Amino acid sequence: MGGISGKKRGKIMITIRLKDGKELHFENEVTLFEAAKKISNSLAKDVLVAKVDGELTDIRNNITDGTQVEFFTKADKEGLFTLRHTAAHVMAQAIQHLYPGTKFAIGPAIDDGFYYDLESDHVFSQEDFVAIEKEMAKISKANLPIEKKILSRNEALEFFRSRNQDYKVILIQDLPEDAIVSTYTQGDFTDLCRGPHVRSTGKLKVFKLMTVAGAYWRGDEHNKMLQRIYATAFFDKEELDQFLFVRAEAEKRDHRKLGKQLNLFSFHEEGPGFPFFHPKGMVIRNELIAYERELFREFGYEEIMTPIILSKKLWLQSGHWDHYKENMYTTQIDGEDFAIKPMNCPGGMLVYKAEPRSYKDLPLRVGELGLVHRHEKSGQLHGLMRVRCFTQDDAHIFMTPEQIKDEIKGVANLIDQVYKLFGFKYHVELSTRPEDSMGSDEDWEVATEGLRGALDDLGLDYVVNEGDGAFYGPKIDFHLEDSIGRTWQCGTIQLDFQLPQRFELEYTGADGEKHRPIMIHRVVYGSVERFIGILIEHFAGAFPTWLAPVQVKVLPISDKYADYGKKVLDALHEAGIRAEMDTRSEKIGYKIREAQGQKIPYMLIAGAKEEEAGLVSVRSRFAGDEGQRSLEQFIADIKEEIASRVNRPVTVETKENK
């Protein structure tokens, strides 16, 4: 109900504020849709959903006095979310028509589409999707108005019991006795739902059913297994086509599949969520770590290592025990409680405290490639992207208040250098104080403005995420974009006043007095394991030469030329190039195809002509047949390519790089 802000000739006056600060006034209660119509007829035509004081709200709802209102159309992610929520209802209605007696559980919109969990005697498969989509198209063409209705808890229970919708009844029973329940009806289908929804089914024109899977009711393995149908929806067919292209590309690039194909890593039931790196995977891992150690030297970092297991007392002092203990593995040593570290920072605090510090020592940049463990639920594990142990490329920078901006800029430049090396575009987000945080308002203000000022000085565009910071300080997140347009959050800069206070860190200032340092937490890869997974998918397993586990494959045309091949191989090894030789008695075409399947950057073919002239025939993943070259020249060229860490562009479409 709208509140009373004043009276004019005996009428109720209601005022709302728009995002741009303008105010709208109404003499009686109206819906958000009617409020949009007052702004403009074009907005009323396009509006799909609104936010009221930051909360997504159905446009059928009445306006409330004194609130801030923002409207969204199909151009906004909120509009797409609302369309997909409605699409879940349309899919459920189509299933109800085709498979009467189906019981519906929940059907939310999700990041890339929507799903509905249901119970049915019919076992759904992808063969059913064409018929369901056809029925959905009929419902869309009918352009059924979607009507919201408010019921009491008892009325809602009676309604859904009469329709044998057991899961809806359970959901309503979980509500308080005095709860107000909303339903949405389109034609002959009514669903229990909080909304929001678009105004009619005609808005839904572009959709596709994707997969069907099993899902326990409420995610509890002790409950009944339901069927979950995943689907997606868009406003334009071009957007759907792009989504399907990226999805197909992602399946081809799946790091779990390529990791097995390229013999990089594996997972075993003896350690669920704990990756096993094979020799070739270790090459990639070690090259990434070696590169970051070069950056340590270039940007003035010192490297440390801290223990994996530390006393519970430390985690209580740091605040992690109160905020993170559900994700920590614990043990006992000599009757005392200990925890395996989920983060490196508390160990870094102890290193700082190990000796007296002066303002002349600051900024002190301390890096650690530290192994951490976090208890992730088994259902959330996903290859290298979500594991239970991983290496964080952590660094902590201790500094004076005057050094904040320059240090943040230095880290941002370091991250920029790394992402450009791999060909990643990226965007930046600034996250501010969350509700569950510690520290004074003044500290948070100084910290947030320090981050904001550094971004402004660098000229970086950024989005502000209100309330999404860490519990100890605001942060800058770097979201990189891979070769098929997906985004991944990797690099982070977090400014922290709290841990230096909790650990009573000090330095002696120029005035001879004790002062508290300020600290930056920063990661570039984030998790080395996850970054490897991202790189596998970004490059589709075809790594730049400097990062490739095997850089050159020597291919003798027959056994007769194995000795010459071995001579070539020895010269490559002596030059520090990672090389192998295929000594099998197979035809050269088969050997080439095998090397292509392993995505090896270079193949050197050794036969009669090559041996006689002391040359090698070069075939590359980038340009196909590159002709003959002296071995000395090839070695000089590839060493330069490796040393510069260049990502050589593909100039000819070959089987190797398709």
Q: Which residues are catalytic?
A: 345, 374, 392, 394, 396, 475, 521
Q: Please, which pLDDT band fits residue 6 given cuts at 50, 70 and 90?
A: very low
Q: Please, which pLDDT band fits residue 59 given cuts at 50, 70 and 90?
A: very high
Predicted confidence at residue 589, as pLDDT, reads: 93
Predicted confidence at residue 4, as pLDDT, reads: 34
Percent of the chain topping pLDDT 90: 79
Higher pLDDT, 126 or 14: 126
474 prior amide bond cis, ω within 30: no
Predicted confidence at residue 221, as pLDDT, reads: 85
Higher pLDDT, 179 or 544: 544
Terminal Cα distance for the chain, rounded: 61
Predicted confidence at residue 7, as pLDDT, reads: 45
Residues linked to residue 306 through DSSP beta bridges, in sequence order: none
363 prior amide bond cis, ω within 30: yes
Sign of the torsion formed by the C-alpha atoms of 167, 170, 174 and 179: positive
Label the pairing between strands 364-373 and 302-303. Answer: parallel
Predicted confidence at residue 320, as pLDDT, reads: 87
Residue 658 has pLDDT above 70, yes or no: no
Residues linked to residue 581 through DSSP beta bridges, in sequence order: 554
Predicted confidence at residue 5, as pLDDT, reads: 39
Q: Please, which pLDDT band fits residue 21 given cuts at 50, 70 and 90?
A: confident
- Chain segment 377-401, per-residue pLDDT in tens: 888 899 999 999 999 999 999 999 8
Average pLDDT over residues 548-556: 97
Higher pLDDT, 323 or 451: 451
What one-character-per-residue DSSP string does 495-535 give? EESHHHHHTT--EE-TTS-EE--EEEEEEEEEEHHHHHHHH
Least confident of 409-413, 424-428, 500-504, 651-655: 651-655
User: How high is the mean pLDDT of the chain?
Assistant: 92
Predicted confidence at residue 1, as pLDDT, reads: 31
Residue 654 has pLDDT above 60, yes or no: no
Q: Counting Cβ atoms within 10 Å, is residue 380 exposed (0-12), middle (13-18) or buried (19+)?
A: exposed
- Write the single-letter amino acid at 8: K
Q: Please, which pLDDT band fits residue 656 given cuts at 50, 70 and 90?
A: low
- Chain segment 284-323, per-residue pLDDT in tens: 999 999 999 999 999 999 999 999 999 999 999 998 898 8
Sign of the torsion formed by the C-alpha atoms of 422, 77, 214 and 217: positive
Alpha helices in 31-175 (DSSP H): 32-39, 41-46, 77-98, 129-142, 153-162, 166-173
Least confident of 101-110, 233-242, 371-380: 371-380
Average pLDDT over residues 41-47: 93
Residue 125 has pLDDT above 80, yes or no: yes
What one-character-per-residue DSSP string does 70-103 give? EEE-TTSHHHHHHHHHHHHHHHHHHHHHHSTT-E
Residue 80 has pLDDT above 50, yes or no: yes
Q: Counting Cβ atoms within 10 Å, is residue 326 exposed (0-12), middle (13-18) or buried (19+)?
A: exposed
- Chain segment 481-508, per-residue pLDDT in tens: 998 888 999 999 998 888 899 999 999 9
Predicted confidence at residue 379, as pLDDT, reads: 82
Phi, psi of 95 (to 5 degrees): -65, -40
Least confident of 109-113, 358-362, 568-572, 648-652: 648-652
Task: Bin 648: left if φ > 0, else alpha if -120 < ψ < 50, else beta.
Answer: beta
Least confident of 324-333, 440-449, 473-482: 440-449
Residue 3 has pLDDT above 50, yes or no: no
Predicted confidence at residue 657, as pLDDT, reads: 56
The answer to whether 346 and 320 are in contact (CB under 8 A) is yes
Average pLDDT over residues 629-641: 96
Q: Please, which pLDDT band fits residue 70 given cuts at 50, 70 and 90?
A: very high
